[in-house]
Structure 1
Amino acid sequence: MTPFVFAFKLLISVPVALVLSLTAIWYIWESGNTVLYDSFGQKMFSGLETYGLLAIPLFMLTGEMMNEGGMTRRLINAARVFVGGFRGGLAYINLLANMFMAAIIGSATAQIAVMARAMTPEMEKEGYDKGFAAATTAAGGLLAPVIPPSMMFVIFGVLAQIPIGDMFLAGILPGLLMAISFACVIAIIGFFQGFPKGDWFTRKESLAALLACLPAALIPLAIIGGILFGIATPTESAAIASLIAFLVGWLIYGELKPSALFALFKRTAVNASMIVFMIAAASVFGWVIIYEALPQKLAALITSITSDPFVFLLIVNCVLLAVGMLIDGIAAVILITPILLPIAMNDYNIDPYQFGVVMCLNLVLGLLTPPVGVGLYVASTMSGVSPWQIFRSLWPFLLAVAVILVLLSRFPLLSTALI
């Protein structure tokens, strides 16, 4: 009966955190082991007693401060220095700026919202198709959950009980591969559609743009450099990054006022609390998974189909793609990791870092695919382009991600080389 209750609540659009909590309550009542009610609250709280989870609100706060402090605009301007003069230069600027933002924000939805507002009108002014402009921005948002820091990686690391810093390192090569594949897509489309040629900055303009960007560039350096060289943990790096974002926005750029901090803190707290509540609810939902022996039953089913780790990952990719189309990526990570990760590690000897990268990248595709497609609707709202018009121009980018997913599933070294 419990699986039907779980599925029914998901279908009627009950928030995922409540689905997890109420399903656990139903299971306790159904099992007759009502003593578990006494430890329900304690179990939820214990799910949050992880130091790494502090990184989530801190990375969110960093992104909020960047937007408020004018750093996004300067990063876009700096991207012009490197790729602005190529044919289709503004599309490459969009992609490169998304890479910069991915190394700071860590949330695909937030990144799509910021970049769609900034880049789509600019591309339209220079003669690009509005649907393609919005699609390029939306596709660039897919870099956020892969290029560190990534909130999905933080959550996966906590659930899988592996070092979050190493999980971040696992995402660097896949993120670069995605960026290169997106650049190839832009080049091919530009060849057939005849994109307008961009203008290179003069030496003086280039120097001014890079100097203006330097303080903002301290943020990704602090995050990635701190983790890479073992100077700070991901949580400490997130705290340092938020402090740098505040000081740069206030003292150097002069666009972030201390009076705006309360609103930023409030917005961050509201957004972070939704994610944290889902993680707490997932802890009690673990009772259902443990007592029903769900991973063991699923492992028996899948191992009867194949013993090849690559084929297993292809099956998982198909399942995750369907799940990602219906459930938010972060919620899906919380739901699926406790079920599929033990099978991947114990039955197929798959590295948890490889599995985490494949799973997070696959699930984030759901942000841009119907019927739910939150990222698609965010890009549509911010750019004023219909979701269908965006999706028509988006499919080559999604195809590129599918190819990257197959490569990541086939070659573990692409995820584990830097660890």
Structure 2
Amino acid sequence: MTGITPLVFIMLLVIGVPIGLVLCLAAFVYILASGNAVLLDSYPLKLFSSLDNFGLLAIPLFILIGEIMNGAGITTRLVRLASAFIGAVRGGLAYVNLLANMFVASILGSATAQIAMMSQVMAPEMQRAGYDRAFAVGVTAFGGLLGPIIPPSIVFVVYAVLAQVAVRDMLIAGILPGLLMTGLFLGTVALMGLRYNYPRGERLSWGERGRALLRALPMLAIPAVIVGTILAGIASPTESAAIGALVAALIGLFYTRSLKLSDFPAILLRTGLNTALVLFLVAAAGVFSWVLIFGQVPQTAALWIQDVATTPTAFMLLVLVMLLIVGTVIDGIPGLIMVVPILLPIATGIYGIDPLHFGVVVSINLILGLLTPPVGIGLYVAASVTNVSAFRVFRMALPFFLVACIALIVLALVPWFSLALL
């Protein structure tokens, strides 16, 4: 690429220009600086063609499910379900926090939204029960890591479009990694509970647990319908998302009765605005990737990486370090948009790494950056909605960060977790 383009790109990022505009403007500057003005004729066409993909229809539907769920009181009932079965053990509310995050993750699919929502739900509850507030916020924030892993996942849908792999396969590839992360986080809570003597919750009778399960069963139908129809091959991810949105709306209208028909215009407006933000990033990604190819950036990067990493294992470890740094300053989807066009051809073409395995690792790696200082957008979201210092949150949640890093290394080096269900 011409020398001025990277400078413009960095300058725009530093002054706080939204990443979608940064990508579009950097591509425009490259075309002007290269003197290849004929590319300007293709610029708007490339923006449009980047969105000409059926799989992208899943994104507004997944966002709609999350908006409906927020208004239908589903989150509170899922928390009560988790609390009924595991709340009485030592550190019970921390377990409840993680399990509730797992349930919500299977519906919401967005790390930042999940962290913001669950921090407001769980952190005050844990503080009232005697937990340190910063620890409560930290557990909630790292529980939000499950959002982009357990299907449905907007991040995985975007990666599938960028990598030109089946959205269904990408979503299925995230199931075992999501369960692995959940299990490791639960183990971390158990060890910390012994070390810090966390409080126990109230033990419920089996009858009370059964009633809590019955009350939450309709909510569990949402992820069951989404994941079940995909796994069974009955529906595509887009179709399953539409069914899930319908089920969520029916539950909110007729079961929890927290939704009214008059709420739907506002829900649809928020869905449209959030969808526009994501899809604009995808369109900008198409133009930026197009420019990268013209500038031979992937080829140049491939030569450098081959000099540094001589084996697939060395390549994956190098990617983990690079993407953790990228993830600290750039959100998950924009990060994918920037790195996938460069790294994916190298991973698949030179090192023979499966694109689905690579997608799982890259996505989790970038999302972990959301909770990594110095920037750590997810940390600041959790801290701002709960009025706690972001540094203190990270310090209290450091064991979860270390466990997440270990899990990421395991997932990077053992493709079985990503590919076993395919």
Aligned to 1:285: 288
TM-align CA RMSD: 1.0
* Structure 1 residue matching 2:397: 3-state secondary structure: helix
State the distance in 2 between where 1:306 and 1:113 align. Answer: 38
Cross-structure match for 2:306: 303
Aligned to 1:220: 223
Q: State how far apart, in whole Å, the 2-side matches of 1:37 and 1:88 are.
A: 59
1:125-144 pair list within 5 angstroms? 125-144=128-147
Work out whether 1:33 is the aligned partner of 2:54: no
Cα shift at 1:199: 2.2
- Once the two structures are superposed, what CA deviation does each residue of 1:220-246 show, in whole Å capped at 9, x if it has no partner? 011100110001111111111111111
Q: 2:284 and 2:385 mapped to 1: Cα distance?
A: 32
CA distance in 2, matches of 1:212, 1:184: 28
Percent identical across equivalent pairs? 51
Q: Distance in 2 between matches of 1:286 and 1:332?
A: 13
For residues 144 and 276 of structure 1, the distance between their equivalents in structure 2, rounded to whole angstroms, comes to 19
Give matches, 1:64-213, under 5 Å: 64-213=67-216
**Is residue 53 of structure 1 aligned with residue 56 of structure 2?**
yes
Equivalence for 1:2: 5
**Which ranges in structure 2 are unaligned for 5 or more consecutive residues?**
none
Do residues 265 (structure 1) and 268 (structure 2) align? yes
CA distance in 1, matches of 2:124, 2:117: 12
Matches of 1:280 and 1:260, distance apart in 2 = 30
Matched, 1:339 2:339: no
Q: Distance in 1 between matches of 2:174 and 2:400?
A: 19
Q: Corresponding residue for 1:411?
A: 414
- Alpha-carbon contact 2:328-2:377 (below 8 Å) kept: no
User: Following TM superposition, by how much is the alpha carbon of 1:32 offset from its aligned partner in structure 2, in angstroms?
Assistant: 1.6
CA contact (8 A) 2:285 2:337 kept: yes
Q: Pairwise mapping of residues 328-367 of structure 1 onto structure 2 (< 5 A)?
A: 328-367=331-370
Within 2, Cα distance between the matches of 1:125 and 1:284? Answer: 50
2:237 counterpart of 1:238? no
Q: Following the alignment from structure 1 to structure 2, what is the Cα–Cα distance between the partners of residues 162 and 287?
A: 18
Partner of 1:382: 385
Question: TM-score, with normalisation over the residues of structure 1?
Answer: 0.98
Instruction: Give me the whole-angstrom Cα distance separating, in 1, the residues matched to 2:229 and 2:310.
Output: 40
Cα deviation, 1:119-151, whole Å, max 9, x if unaligned, reads 111111111111111111111000111111111
Q: Name the SS for the 1:368 alignment partner.
A: coil
Q: Is the 8 A contact 2:174 2:360 kept in 1?
A: yes
Distance in 2 between the 1:232 and 1:13 partners?
41
**1:189 aligned partner, one-letter code:** M
Please tell me whether the aligned partners of residues 160 and 167 of structure 2 are also in contact (alpha carbons under 8 angstroms): yes
Q: TM-score, normalised by structure 2?
A: 0.97
Report the alpha carbon displacement of residue 28 of structure 1 after superposing the two structures with TM. Answer: 1.2
Deviates more, 1:240-249 or 1:78-87: 78-87
Could you tell me how far 1:204 is from its partner in structure 2?
2.6
Residues 200-256 of structure 1: per-residue CA shift (max 9 Å, x gap): 222232122111111111100111001100011111111111111111000111101
8 A Cα contact 1:80 1:201, kept in partner: no
Residues in 2 aligned to 1:290 and 1:167: alpha-carbon distance in whole angstroms: 25
| 1:69-89 Cα shifts (integer Å, max 9, x gaps) | 011111111112321121111
Confirm or deny: 8 A CA contact 2:156 2:167 kept in the other structure.
Answer: yes
Deviates more, 1:241-250 or 1:298-307: 298-307
Give the letter aligned to residue 352 of structure 1. Answer: P
The equivalent residue for 2:17 is 14
Q: How many residues align?
A: 419
Question: For 2:272 and 2:45, how far apart are their aligned partners in 1?
Answer: 22
